[in-house]
Amino acid sequence: MITPVGGSGKVPAFVALLAPQKGMNVATLLDIQHSDRTQIEDLYRKKLLKKKQVATHAELAGADEADVEDMFDRNFYVGIVNAEFAKELNTPVDATALNAKEPRTLPAVEAWLAKNPFKSGAFGHYRPARYFADNVATLWPQMSDAAGSKLRSST
């Protein structure tokens, strides 16, 4: 069973609720930034999870930091953002104008949007995720083989 918990800070409470359930094996797949490493180490110290029960998007992406959005090619993710927020955007997000030095896609998109605000509303990273889930049949074939492999290995 896959259950989103909303970030590494919420994992300890979630694991504490689920781990005592008889016959349940709990594992987690986390976004990771340098600031999250202490929280993840706390999971091990408190014996809530073992290292083999924790995977990160950074491991899958072969990076120091990564979010679920980094499992996609940057251009592909920007296309999802533009499709989901088409009515709210003054100008579609330009993938080539994103800060190439920012290794994580989500902060790069958020920085671009800070300089190019919405006509109305605000960006939330859950909406592109829902858009992808709602349109996976049409979007999956458009993904690169590398992105598809990363996503398959994360499930």
Q: State pLDDT tens for residues 103-132.
A: 999 999 999 999 999 999 899 999 999 999
Specify the number of domains making up the chain. 2
Residue 2: inside a domain, yes or no? Answer: no
Pairwise CA distance, residues 120 & 83, whole Å = 15
Residue 23: inside a domain, yes or no? Answer: yes
Tens of pLDDT, residue by residue over 10-37, are 888 888 888 777 777 888 888 888 777 8
pLDDT band at 155 (very low <50, low <70, confident <90, very high): low
Are 20 and 82 members of one domain?
no
Pairwise CA distance, residues 53 & 55, whole Å = 7
Query: What average pLDDT score do residues 146-150 get?
Result: 61
pLDDT for 149: 61
Q: Are 138 and 132 in contact (CB under 8 A)?
A: no
CB count within 10 Å of CB 101 equals 6
pLDDT band at 148 (very low <50, low <70, confident <90, very high): low
Across 136-151, b (16+ Cβ under 10 Å) vs e yields eeebeeebeeebeebb
Are 77 and 51 members of one domain?
no
Are 99 and 139 members of one domain?
yes
Residue 66: inside a domain, yes or no? Answer: no
Q: What is the DSSP letter of 32?
A: B
Q: Are 57 and 105 in contact (CB under 8 A)?
A: no
Are 22 and 42 members of one domain?
yes
Residue 35: inside a domain, yes or no? Answer: yes
Are 77 and 17 members of one domain?
no
Are 84 and 144 members of one domain?
yes
Per-residue pLDDT at 58 exceeds 80 = yes
Helices 74-84 and 126-134: crossing angle, nearest 10°?
90
In the chain, % of residues over pLDDT 90: 48
Q: The domain containing residue 76 runs over which residues?
A: 72-154
